[in-house]
Amino acid sequence: MLNLTQLPCHMLVLGGARSGKSQFAENIIISTNAAPHQVTYVATATVIDDEMEHRIAHHQQSRPSGWALVEEPVSITKVLANKSSSEHLILVDCLTLWLNNLLFNELSDEQIERQVDALCDVIKSSSATIVLVSNEVGQGIVSDNALARRFVDLSGRMNQKLAQAVGTVVLVTAGLPLYLKGGGT
């Protein structure tokens, strides 16, 4: 069991789809033994079809019921700014869905880059413990679809900026963590 002083202040958890990254991030928060009222789960997913509704339900069932839930598909920087005290633990799942939401709100690449920069600024200035979950999407072939290539490019740049903004970066593959930056907890 970790106490709050052992947890890195800010952590980015990367991994592919179904890699175990969300469960790993949740377990990091659970291992602090923080009171449920201290934990806020920021969910960026939106129900767009039956399959996504099922994924959301699975995530809802896996996390402790006492955690506060904020469903925010776009304005996560405002949520983080409002919960910036050192008593808060915040889990944001998932930044690639957030990026997807920004794309489908028809933001330009420059507007998205500004959103990512603003997120990094809020993270750097926050006293809260923040655990961010994001997909690593750039390890496959280059798509023949322009929107998919744009998403991969923006996602890769987002993850690089976030990795610079946090103290710990973990890559989860097959449920196993590999610490890329910062020490293992």
Does the pLDDT at position 170 exceed 90?
yes
Q: Is the peptide bond before 120 cis (omega within 30 degrees of 0)?
A: no
Residue 142 DSSP code? P
As beta bridge partners, residue 24 has: none
pLDDT digits (tens, 9 = 90+) for 92-117: 999 999 999 999 999 999 999 999 99
Catalytic residue annotation: 59
Confidence of residue 1 (pLDDT cuts 50, 70, 90): very low
CATH class of 10-180: alpha beta
- What single-letter amino acid sits at 35? A
- How far is residue 40 from each of residues 18, 82, 88, 102, 118, measured CA to CA in Å? 22, 11, 7, 22, 20
Mean pLDDT over the full length of the chain: 88
Binding residues for GTP are 15-22, 43-45, 71, 93
Which residues are CB-neighbours of 171 under 8 A, at least 6 positions away?
14, 15, 136, 177, 178, 180
Q: Which two tokens stand for residue 66?
A: 């006492």
Q: What is the pLDDT of residue 47?
A: 67
In the chain, % of residues over pLDDT 70: 92
Q: Which has the higher per-residue pLDDT, 76 or 45?
A: 76
pTM of the model: 0.89
Query: What residues does each domain of the chain span?
Result: 10-180
Binding residues are 15-22, 43-45, 71, 93
Which residues are CB-neighbours of 99 under 8 A, at least 6 positions away?
112, 151, 154, 155, 158
Q: What is the pLDDT of residue 103?
A: 95
Confidence of residue 7 (pLDDT cuts 50, 70, 90): low
Q: What is the pLDDT of residue 2?
A: 46
CA gap 154, 151 in Å, rounded? 5
DSSP string of 57-110, one letter each residue = HHHHHHS-TTSEEEE-SS-HHHHHHHT-STT-EEEEE-HHHHHHHHHHTT--HH
pLDDT digits (tens, 9 = 90+) for 54-87: 777 776 777 778 898 899 999 999 999 998 788 8
